[in-house]
Amino acid sequence: MKITWFLRAACAVAIAATGISAAAQEKTGNKPGFTLAPGTARIVLMRPTIWVGEQSTAGMPEPNADWTTQARENIARALADAQTGLGNVVISYDEDASGEGALVAEYSHLFGAVAESVIEYQFFSGNRLPTKKRKDSFDWGVGNGIAGLKSLEGGDYALFINVHDEYGSTGRKILQIVSMFAPGAGVSSGVHKGHAGLVDLKTGELVWLNADWEMGGDVRTAEGAAKRVRQLLEGFPGRPAEAPAEGE
Amino acid sequence: MTRLLIGLSMGLAAMSPAAANSLVSAGPRPNIAGSSFSAAPVDEWNRLSRKDGKNVEIWTRDGDQLNKVTFFGGIPSGKPLVREIDKKRQPLPKVAADMLITDIPVMLESTYRIQYAVSQMDIDSQEPATLGGHKAIRFTYRFAREDDGVRRKGEAIGAFVGGKLYLVTYEAPALYFFDKDVEKYRKLAATLAL
């Protein structure tokens, strides 16, 4: 029943209808001047937020607990595999005795809202907010309150990851086909969103974001989740250059 | 089939060309939300091209998920606050001629629970106020939507003038964003006129 997600997706379609092609949409952004050399930082990998379900005929998301569990396990494994190749020390978040688990989870949700805003109002260049556009910058963040969290002490950056997938129902797929015969009324089937972002733990600023509303890889399978994680971490700062995997 | 048609019609509706978001500069701003609402912001805002209803206008600093001022400019009797997504299955409460200002928070809460899948919402405070010289209610609230899990706080002022509902709300995530921009909203709200 996530109507707002639907409205945002509809908005994106409308934006596309104005002539901005999907190819024109940016998928990565970083704070101007931000660089990260290999071996210079300690990155805390936050617990990913993962939601997987079905998209109804009308475009409403309906959760699927089994798929979500599968995706959690698959993404966790893929991240564990990728963790050592990111060029810097990456440690998994540990609440320990801080009692900050709920607050940190709230930061993960807030990061998701920030990432969605970056996609909608920065990556879609035709939809930029005039105040942001004029600055010609990448001015986003979760606030410097994150610097005070004990459970993140010793970390330089937090790596947040969100995955949200809705697989098109049969009805939705039929609607997609029917819409092909209505000029100008393209209806998509399925939503496959992902965000990966680095937040500076001293300032709360978002210094790098890779995010998209059309990600690949079926997160319900181990292979698909590995592909998704590779996409999420594409262009990760400080990561040694590597040859692209076959078939991608 | 009905759901199919609903989906198709919503898809078609979404295809109408979108205008760009526009800058709201400091200074007098008449006819907000196509109504007699006016304000004189001292800070810059962005006016979203997106319309959630005929007499609804949204201003934001960083995007409506992060800070959002919504003007409901003279919603007449028999109309909901925002455009209904599914009139049959999810009808929204309508403005009624016999409503009192104390009904405004309840109407907002009911609308949010139905339209935005809000699972938790609490009205924290209510107090008498004036809006453009008219008797009004100022209230604060908290809510969380199911879709993004973010706890948000809100502050609003509303009144009935000539049988129509005039309401302005400010909402932002409780973590960081609400406090970051609430004073800008309050300065804006202090200049509201009808």
| Tokens 């009308």 -> residue | A58
- Rounded to whole angstroms, the Cα distance separating B128 from B174 reads 24
pLDDT over threshold 50, residue A3: no
Determine the average pLDDT of the residues in B148-155.
Answer: 94
The answer to whether the complex's ipTM is over 0.95 is: no
| Chain B partners within 8 Å of A170 (Cβ) | none
- Rounded to whole angstroms, the Cα distance separating B104 from B121 reads 14
**Domain contains B16:** yes
Q: Which of B60, B146, B176 sits opposite A110 (nearest CB)?
A: B176
Residue B86: phi and psi, rounded to 5, are: -140, 95
**Domain contains B80:** yes
**Domain contains B55:** yes
**Domain contains B194:** no
Which residue is closest to A169 within chain B, CA to CA? B4
DSSP label of B103 = G
Mean pLDDT for all residues in chain A: 85
Tally of CA atoms within 13 A in the half-sphere of A174 that contains its CB? 11
Instruction: Spell out the alpha helix ranges (H) of B142-194.
Output: 177-189
Helices and strands: H and E segment counts in chain B: 3, 10
- CATH number of the domain at B85, please: 3.40.1000.10
| Beta-carbon contacts of residue A64 (< 8 Å; ≥ 6 apart) | A52, A53, A54
String of DSSP letters for A20-73: --GGGS--EEE-TT----TTS-EEEEPPPEEEEEEE-TTS-EEE-HHHHHHHHH
- Rounded to whole angstroms, the Cα distance separating B94 from B74 reads 13
Give pLDDT, residue A188: 79
| Chain B partners within 8 Å of A131 (Cβ) | 23, 44-46, 61
| Tokens 């024109």 -> residue | A24
Give pLDDT, residue A34: 93
| Chain B partners within 8 Å of A174 (Cβ) | 4
Q: Is B91 helix (H, G, I), strand (E, B) or coil?
A: coil
Give pLDDT, residue B6: 44
Which one of A2, A60, A110, A163 would you mutate to disrupt binding with B, by most B Cβ within 10 Å of its Cβ? Answer: A110
Determine the average pLDDT of the residues in B32-56.
Answer: 94
**What tokens does B137 get?**
């209610």
Give pLDDT, residue B157: 97
Q: Which residues of chain B approach chain A closer than 8 Å at the C-beta? A: 3-4, 6-8, 10-18, 20-23, 44-46, 50, 60-63, 65-66, 85-86, 115-117, 145-151, 173, 175-177, 180
Mean pLDDT for all residues in chain B: 90
**Domain contains B94:** yes
pLDDT over threshold 70, residue B74: yes
pLDDT over threshold 90, residue B182: yes
pLDDT in tens, A126-175: 899 998 876 667 899 999 999 999 999 999 999 999 999 999 888 888 88
**Domain contains B173:** yes
Q: Which of B22, B50, B150 sits opposite A110 (nearest CB)?
A: B150
**Domain contains B52:** yes
| Beta-carbon contacts of residue A66 (< 8 Å; ≥ 6 apart) | none
**Domain contains B141:** yes
Contact at 8 Å (CB) between B144 and B112?
no
Question: Could you tell me the pLDDT band of residue B11, with boundaries at 50, 70 and 90?
Answer: very low
Pairing of strands B164-173, B37-39: unpaired
Give pLDDT, residue A185: 66
Sign of CA dihedral A145, A49, B142, B92: positive
- Rounded to whole angstroms, the Cα distance separating A37 from A58 reads 47
Residue A63 one-letter amino acid = P
Which residue is closest to A14 within chain B, CA to CA? B15
- Rounded to whole angstroms, the Cα distance separating A189 from A175 reads 8
Determine the average pLDDT of the residues in B106-120.
Answer: 92
- The parent domain of residue B47 ranges over 2-189
Which residue is closest to A171 within chain B, CA to CA? B4
Contact at 8 Å (CB) between B173 and B152?
yes
Contact at 8 Å (CB) between B81 and B73?
no
Q: Identify the weakest region by mean pLDDT among A106-110, A203-207, B10-14, B125-129.
A: B10-14
**Interchain pair A120, B63: CB under 8 A:** yes
Q: Give A17 or B104, the one with higher predicted confidence.
A: B104
Query: How many domains is chain B partitioned into structurally?
Result: 1
**What tokens does B76 get?**
């007449």
CA-angle at A151, arms to A145 and A154, nearest 5° = 90
**Interchain pair B7, A127: CB under 8 A:** no
Q: Which of B15, B86, B115 sits opposite A17 (nearest CB)?
A: B15
- Rounded to whole angstroms, the Cα distance separating B86 from B10 reads 10
